[in-house]
Amino acid sequence: MKNVVVRTENLTKRYKNTLAVDKLCMEIEEGEIYGFVGANGAGKTTTMRIIAGLLAPTSGSVFVDGIDVSKKPLQVKKHIGYMPDFFGVYDDLKVSEYLNFYAGMQGIEKNRCDTLVDSLLELVRLTHKRDAYVDTLSRGMKQRLCLARSLIHDPKFLILDEPASGLDPRARVEMKEILMELATMGKTILISSHILHELSQICTSIGIIDSGRLVACGSVREVSDRMSHSGKLKIKVSSKEEEAVKVLLEIPEIKGVSSAAGMIDVDVIGQDDTYADILRTLVEKGIPVISFQPQESSLESVFMQLTEGGNGNDN
């Protein structure tokens, strides 16, 4: 069994009249990239700030590497790299000075700083901006600089709050590459995002949060499998197109059918065996099926289903 790097126990945070995080129990194992997904105001940032030791929970506790964050915050901070959803830069510092400052704040000795800063700048592809002032950097560069800052003390666990927000597609790909590189370096990463598609590509596990509650968690596969979710199905027939549509519409799990030139698009709600049933029915009715393609169920639809059901959209 792998080491659990982060564990939250009934984590609850209540602001005056909003319950931002509600009895959240979460476990992140060593080496995982844990995707933290939720709509605006779901409580992602609040949870991450509590884990980083920046906010006291109303009740419940967080353990990083088995250490209680509220008991020994300074000890825990050595293991955590935190990148918030804003930049936080000083306008009168150069890129290398910026990193050197945080190296100093992390208690790294002076003689190690220069090589450390150079290697980090290389990692985030900012070596050419070493002597530029921080406020002259583009948004994407600032974001990468902030990532470098969160890595300065070589933490084993990274908390990244929407590291890809506001980036163009190219910068997103770059950010993704850097994250993959970090994962191969053995870092455990907690990353939040709205862009589910991207998360499903790089994450090993996923947790879906809605109104402060963790409504689903597990590996990407598990999460999407566990749900009876709506999916799409593409069927190609050589003839008898109209008859096929009629047959399909009689099946209760099918919510919609549209057809054109031998291609039939079907909306289905159900599990894997539902698809098998549909195929069997078609064949039994003598429809000449050429191809039968369930579309890979996207995380997106799981997400939509999980978050729209409960309390609905509150903003």
Partner 1 sequence: MTINPILKKDLKTKLRGWRSTILICCYVTLLTGILFLYFASSNMFNPRSYQSFNPRMAIDAYNILITFQFALLFIAVPAITAVSISSERERQTLDLMLVTATPARRIILGKIMVSIAHTMLLLVASLPVIGIVFFFGGIGFADIAKLLLFYLLTAFFVASCGVFFSTIFKRNITAIITTYIFLGLVTFGPFVGFLIYAMLHQRMPGGFNPVYRDFVTGLFPSPVFGYISFYFGSYGGYGGYIFGISDVQRQIEMLLAAETGIWKYMHPWIVNGLFSIISSILLIFFSSLALNPVKRKY
Ligand X SMILES: Nc1ncnc2c1ncn2[C@@H]1O[C@H](COP(=O)(O)OP(=O)(O)OP(=O)(O)O)[C@@H](O)[C@H]1O
Concatenate the DSSP letters of all residues of 283-310 into one string. HHTT--EEEEEEPPPPHHHHHHHHHHHS
Token pair belonging to 212: 């402060």
Part in contact with Mg ion (CB under 5 A); list of ranges 39-47, 214-222, 254-262, 273-281:
39-47
45 belongs to the binding site for Mg ion (CB under 5 A): yes
- Identify the residue among 25, 105, 249, 290 touching partner 1 (CB under 8 A): 105
Among 102, 194, 225, 262, binds partner 1 (CB under 8 A): 102
**C-beta closer to Mg ion: residue 189 or 287:** 189
Report the C-alpha gap between 182 and 154 in whole angstroms: 11
Cβ at position 228, least distance to Mg ion in Å: 30
Angle, CA of 267, 218 and 209, to the nearest 5°: 75
Pick what 283 binds: partner 1, ligand X, Mg ion, none; C-beta below 5 to 8 Å, kind-dependent: none
Which amino acid appears at position 167 of this protein?
L
What is the distance between the alpha carbons of residues 312 and 315, in angstroms, rounded to a whole number?
9
Q: At closest approach, how far in Å is the CB of 42 from ligand X?
A: 4
Q: Which residues bind ligand X (CB under 6 A)?
A: 15, 18, 20, 38, 40-46
Residues in the chain: 315
Residue closer to partner 1, measured from CB, 69 or 196: 69
Rounded distance between C-alpha atoms, residue 258 and residue 236, angstroms: 12
The answer to whether 52 contacts partner 1 (rule: CB under 8 A) is yes
| Interhelix angle 95-105/139-150, nearest 10 degrees | 30
Q: Which is nearer to ligand X, 44 or 213 (CB)?
A: 44
Q: Which residues bind Mg ion (CB under 5 A)?
A: 45
